[in-house]
Amino acid sequence: MSALSSIHVLLVDDNPNMRAIIAAMLKSVGVGRLTEAEDGAAALELLGQKAIDIAIVDFRMKPMDGVAFTRAVRNEGDSANPYLPVIMMTGHSEKSRVTEARDAGVTEFVSKPVKAQTLLTRIEAVILRPRPFVRSANYFGPDRRRTRTESYAGPFRRADDTGT
């Protein structure tokens, strides 16, 4: 039995062929439960009905894309799980898209064509190495800083941090 057999993944993509491919990958690595949705709006409804552990969402969908879905999960007052790990998939991995997804609160990012090993690595990252969540005036989500400077000895994270 796989260590992932108890995980419930929500797979969100408007392309049924892509959903079938990713679903087959997830099953091959041992994911036990899988729920599918064809856009962000349908996925938000499902989050209110099922206990989902991880969402894997496409960047570009209509009427609600993956970025809008992630923002809703993180920031809507009635969100079923604002701490839900969200793995964003896209065929367009330009830096601007990665930044937009990160700033929406995405936990991990994977480029299409998706490889099973890459997807498994991202799933393992959100399970085994969860990042702390940060709340600021204009952001709520996983800490966007991926590295920690071991030599840093001060009390503040930034030069302009006043500690208040």
DSSP 18-46: HHHHHHHHHHHTT--EEEEESSHHHHHHH
> Burial level of 63, CB count in 10 A (0-12/13-18/19+)?
exposed
pLDDT number for residue 12? 98
Residue 155 pLDDT: 59
| Low-confidence residues of the chain: pLDDT under 50 | none
Question: Does residue 72 form part of some domain?
Answer: yes
Task: Answer yes or no: is 56 within a domain.
Answer: yes
Distance from C-alpha of 140 to C-alpha of 87, rounded to nearest angstrom: 16
Q: Is 44 inside a domain boundary?
A: yes
Q: Tell whether 87 is covered by a domain.
A: yes
> What's the CATH number where 45 sits?
3.40.50.2300
Q: What is the reported pLDDT for 154?
A: 58
pLDDT at 21: 96
Residue 163 lies in a domain: no
pLDDT recorded at residue 76: 93
Structural domain of 99: 8-142
pLDDT for 41: 95
Answer whether residue 20 is part of any domain: yes
Does residue 164 sit within a domain? no
Check residue 88 and give its pLDDT: 96
The token pair at 87 is 């793995």
Q: For residue 154, tell me if it sits in a domain.
A: no
Report how many domains make up the chain: 1
